[in-house]
Structure 1
């Protein structure tokens, strides 16, 4: 025992030593960063060439994701994770600043590692690229390979380059899900589903082995509108004949044979790109056009984000009248959650802080959420409704997606604004309770006992859900759906049946939602802010925007400073076919794991994230 005690004590000393060393290293890094900040110049000027280089890596988001330890573990095992993220606001602000800056003449876009974003984000970026070019400036785009999202962005450039071994054929919108019904049957797992809404397809993977006719019909109508917006915008920007993208995708087999098997040649022949050029040749082209830096190692271009962060406009201060901006981004969860999720408690608290601030005259709720728990959604809606009752102007601005619970929290607004390609609607409720009586029976495990009432033990993981409890649960779901219809009907001035006709869990684009009275106007976030100022009676230039957000801990801030926030990775299994398959399964499981509503009712569009363009 003495030896064990000494060994254990020695192990503890080693552990404490390691912790102290890590702490010392962390302190040294922070000190060096602070000293560097004090003695370095914040000015970043554009080189003589006038060229900015934008390495667009990762996906466009409205708010950065803070990954939980569990999410980081899943990413390590199966790959994926948050990955690289680019804030839409930074791109919009940066391009506007560059358009006004006479020293900027050219933007060089590197798109090989761009992984996309929601349709509305891509269209917003495209609009800013058009404005940049209309200011008399040039955009050059290059990628080894183009996906649908990266080519859409590149289509708005003056010059588009593709690697000779690359691909640039637009596939269009598609959505396929992993269905678990067969596996669950084999394992003896009973998935008890309670729902309202013919088109509420979120739980179909747990009750079916294929897509339902209703889901197919809804997706065909939704994707038709999104595909029309994509092709109309991109073909016009590229100067292509209407229908070119559809024709190329539908006849790719014939076209590749005509091109002698060279897929990149199709993109060149059809006008999707201007020139096929390798990396070395492209860098030489940039060297020739812009010159090289003193060491001769790279073209004389200035990093877009370094330049923007050093030259961005400081927030306006000294003005008392304020428009509060509150971002609701991610799945809506009960309790304290933020940074890629929407916490019912946190976001209700933020709205309350804004409405109790005497300087705040209006609130703009920026939504990019497919919904989540009904209880958390209602907490947020209640606070927003109270803000309106207190006399504040309330505007809801929808980003990439504002569906189900994301639509629920928008309802108290004086006006709801959406982008034409926003994903919204999905007005429906469901409950999902997996039980394991069949699986346990297969291995000889049973459960029995006593309850003083019929309700006691009526819902059990080991015994399942009996008819008595199922009746209660379905009635609760029905009541939740009627509440959803009532919330929408009261807010939109529609009867119960009018709401039900556009509800049933069906998903719409912003344009389709406008036609059905679910949103008031189509426009950008900036236009929604201007409208909030107008309704609040605020004079242009005499108010400030203030983002209300939960402060991050000092540890979180230090980790972010050091670039140590969890990000995407290939995982232990690499990034092959098996890893991608397991990753899909893991993401479906994680979506279910996020369901923490205390009442077991969910207004969530689980399929909405799949509508992002990649």
Structure 2
């Protein structure tokens, strides 16, 4: 047995090895400290939640003011998971999203609750989503006032959409340094033909049916086509004049006076010496100029002063109020199920806020297989998307009807193109007068890049076993014959679309073609053309579904069929939502920073465009039924 003796390391080598070992030790130490620190934090949260027993609900007293001050985007359903929303609220901020159903439910409950004396309404921090949803809240506010409940509105700045809600109040107050003005609707967007074709040498090939199908025009033109301008101005004028009429009715003004003031807007603002708040007061849009502190004092004087409450008056926030009025025990009465279809329509399993051909179909299937569900309301707020995914959902609507369960569609702000496709087979279709719908048509957009590649010295060459092998390779020029094949696919898809609409609406394909061809309509215009059955909002549609199922008046309840959180996710949500967990997380800069990075906002239209341009095996191109018609 022999022993090999290693020669001693040189001084420089020993220094480098020692330095490396020291750095490794420090790295492991930091990671271990971080791991055990997070573990300790989690254990502390669990302990505090157990000891604290969660947050205890404060009693709801008489003569309480309900504060409805939504902050964020008005949505049909949350797009973020419950844990992240609870974490955001515990961190001192809003969730960034407000569910339409929650606002409507709070107003409906306040109308009947004797403990609610009045409502303080703040809409200036609510992000506009569309005119249909705003009008539904406006109707609920008007009903609340009709029931004898006072509504006081305050804002620092009102957009013309937010102002529709504020105008429903008995009194509207504006901060003296704030402002509001009505200016009208517009629909402007960027056009990329020169940038794509001339600058980047990208050839965009558009295949469509219908001269009004303008969703892909920005990629092939330098400006809107005459047909696009004609159609857009037609439905925009209808929605805008209704918006003006709604405001005029609420404020005791006339539409003619409001339109005249808009036409003379510069001189009117100049007459108010540039003071937008004074301009709003002079023209009767608000009742007074007050700071928020002055409005709070007014409410304390009229209601019940409470030094311990925010603002000094007895109040309850909308979220806390809903916790009082919502039934807690499981209710197994007959149900009207509501399935929300919001966002772009794409294939597969998609998260809330996006419609998935498989995931939305699964929710409808769940409602079909649940014996407690007697009718279904499909709430649609979508500009459309992939044709195949839309067809998957339409088939599930048909399956529900075949099962004997009535299906009623409630169109939200937008139910156009693919959004109309998934709606058309319902037993009854409701739209708000200002819903954007129609756009019955499809298109395909195929970019090719050979000229782009040549600019950097790259060329495509090779062989194929048939004439059309590789014909749809985006790095090659698109052959005219291949273009003919794609156009034939789109033509067939359009015939299929109008044929299905005709079958669903009891009309011929030729009749549907006259109101289709990609043209967009307002809800009122769609009603006149037989594309929807009645005007009404979500509450009206739910009541109709119950009526079609013969459920009577009180023997049923509403249940939203949605994806449920995992048990661990529900545990974390309850943990962070507890008083103890909220106190700890609420003072954590780390948690707030983590949240800000964890809830990114993606541009849905760009994501949809990327999706439909992704090739599918067996399909040279995806047929798309989409409408870029949201305001």
Give me the TM-score of the superposition, normalised by structure 1.
Answer: 0.87
SS at match of 2:269: helix
> Is the Cα–Cα contact under 8 Å of residues 65 and 340 in structure 1 kept in the other structure?
yes
1:13 Cα deviation (Å)?
6.4
Q: Which residue pairs with 1:163 in the alignment?
A: 175
CA distance in structure 1 between the aligned counterparts of 2:329 and 2:483, rounded to whole angstroms: 56
- CA deviation profile, 1:377-424 (whole Å, cap 9, x unmatched): 111111211221232222212122111111111122111121211111
Verify the 8 A CA contact 1:49 1:300 in the aligned structure 2.
no
Flag structure 1 segments of 5+ consecutive residues without an equivalent: 68-81, 572-582
Residues 347-362 of structure 1 mapped to structure 2, 5 A cutoff? 347-362=360-375
Cα distance, 1:556 vs structure 2: 5.2
1:565-597 Cα deviation digits (max 9, x unpaired): 9999899xxxxxxxxxxx99x665334224368
Tell me how far apart the structure 1 counterparts of residues 595 and 479 of structure 2 sit (CA, whole Å).
43
The reply to whether residue 463 of structure 1 matches residue 476 of structure 2 is yes
Which secondary structure state, in structure 2, belongs to the residue aligned with residue 537 of structure 1?
coil
Cα distance in 2 for partners of 1:281, 1:456 equals 75
Does structure 1 retain, via aligned residues, the 8 Å contact 2:300–2:314?
A: no
What SS does structure 1 have at the residue aligned with 2:507? coil
Asked if residue 329 in structure 1 is aligned to residue 342 in structure 2, the reply is yes
Which shows bigger deviation, 317-326 or 104-113? 317-326
Deviation at 1:505, TM superposition (A): 1.1
Larger mean CA deviation between 173-182 and 528-537 belongs to 528-537
- Which residue among 545, 550, 557 is the counterpart of 2:558? 545
1:77 maps to what in 2?
Answer: none
Q: Decide which of 302, 306, 311 is 1:298's aligned counterpart.
A: 311
1:108 equivalenced with 2:108 (yes/no): no
Match of 1:574 in 2: none
Residue 449 of structure 1: how far off its partner (Å) = 1.3
8 Å Cα contact 1:169/1:248 also seen in 2: no
Cα distance between partner residues in 2 of 1:303 and 1:227: 35
Root-mean-square deviation over aligned CA pairs: 2.9
With 196-205 and 315-324 compared, the bigger mean Cα shift is at: 315-324
Name the larger-Rg structure.
Answer: 2
CA distance in 2, matches of 1:335, 1:153: 37
Residue aligned with 1:144, SS: strand
Tell me, yes or no, if the aligned pair for 1:166 and 1:264 is still in contact at 8 Å: yes
Aligned to 1:253: 266
Q: Is the CA contact 1:179–1:209 (under 8 Å) kept in the aligned structure 2? A: yes
More deviation in 356-365 or 210-219?
356-365
Q: Which moved more, 1:354-363 or 1:408-417?
A: 354-363
Partner of 2:86: none
Q: How many Å separate the matches in 1 of 2:192 and 2:36?
A: 48
- Which among 183, 188, 192 is matched to residue 176 of structure 1? 188
Q: Does 1:45 align with 2:60?
A: yes
Deviations 1:253-303 (A, max 9, x none): 111222223222221111011112234444444444446533586321423
Give the TM-score normalised by structure 2. 0.85
| Post-superposition offset of 1:193 | 1.6
CA contact 1:403–1:507 (8 Å) conserved in 2: yes
1:433 aligned partner:
446
Q: Could you say which residue in structure 1 is the equivalent of 2:10?
A: none
CA distance in 2, matches of 1:346, 1:505: 27
Return 276-285 or 362-371, whichever deviates more: 276-285
Residue in 2 that maps onto 1:580? none
Which of the residues 106, 117, 125 maps onto 1:94?
106
Secondary structure of the residue that 2:227 maps to in structure 1? helix
Residue 15 and residue 498 in structure 1: after superposition, are their counterparts in 2 closer, same or farther (change >3 A)? Answer: farther
Shift of residue 35, structure 1, vs aligned partner: 4.6
Residues 1:229 and 2:250 aligned together = no
Equivalents in 1 of 2:310, 2:339: separation in Å?
44
Cα distance in 1 for partners of 2:346, 2:594 equals: 22
Matched, 1:243 2:243: no
Deviation of 1:138 (Å): 1.0
CA deviation vs aligned residue, 1:223-259 (integer Å, no higher than 9, x gap)? 1111121111111011112223212221111112222
Tell me, in whole angstroms, the C-alpha distance in 1 between the residues paired with 2:550 and 2:177. Answer: 57
Q: Note if 1:263 corresponds to 2:276.
A: yes
Query: 1:61, CA displacement in angstroms?
Result: 1.4
What's the counterpart of residue 29 of structure 1? 45
For residue 434 of structure 1, report the CA deviation from its aligned partner. 2.1
Secondary structure, aligned partner of 1:298: helix
What is the deviation of 1:606?
4.0
Distance in 1 between residues matched to 2:327 and 2:355, nearest whole Å: 27
- Cα offset, 1:478, TM superposition: 1.2
Give the conservation status (yes or no) of the 8 Å contact 1:44–1:310. Answer: no
Equivalences for 1:412-491 in 2 at 5 Å? 412-491=425-504
User: Would you say 1:590 and 2:590 are equivalent positions?
Assistant: no
In 2, the alpha carbon distance for the partners of 1:364 and 1:413 equals: 9
Give the SS at the match of 2:378. strand
Are residue 18 (structure 1) and residue 34 (structure 2) matched? yes
Distance 2:77 2:395 in 1: 23
What is the CA distance between 1:87 and its match in structure 2?
A: 1.0
Superimposed CA distance per residue, residues 306-356 of structure 1 (whole angstroms, 9 cap, x where no aligned partner): 432321231785545332221111111100102100111111122222222
In the TM superposition, what whole-angstrom CA distance separates every residue of 1:501-535 from its partner, at most 9, and x where no partner exists?
A: 11111111111111111111222222222222222
- C-alpha contact (below 8 Å) 2:416/2:627 kept by paired residues: no
Verify: 1:59 aligned to 2:73, yes or no. yes
String of CA shifts for 1:426-467, please: whole Å, max 9, x gaps. 111011122222211111111111211223211123224222
Residues 1:608 and 2:625 are matched in the alignment: no
Match in the other structure for 2:402 = 389
Q: 1:292 to 1:24 in 2, by over 3 A?
A: same
Deviations 1:169-221 (A, max 9, x none): 11221111121112112011122221112111111111111111111111111
Cα–Cα, structure 1 residues 567 and 422, in superposed 2: closer, same or farther, change >3 Å?
A: farther
CA displacement at 1:5 relative to structure 2: 8.3
Distance 1:526 1:39 in 2: 33
Deviation at 1:15, TM superposition (A): 4.1
CA distance in 2, matches of 1:566, 1:420: 42
- Of 507, 512, 520, 2:525 maps to 512
Q: For the structure 1 residues 117 and 570, does the alpha-carbon distance in structure 2 shift closer, same or farther, using more than 3 Å as the test?
A: farther
The 1:19–1:206 alpha-carbon spacing in structure 2 relative to 1, beyond 3 Å, is farther
Q: Do 1:44 and 1:306's aligned partners in 2 also have CA atoms closer than 8 Å? A: no
* Contact preservation (8 Å) 1:63, 1:339: yes
The residue number in structure 2 matching 1:576 is none
Comparing 369-378 and 244-253, the one that deviates more:
244-253
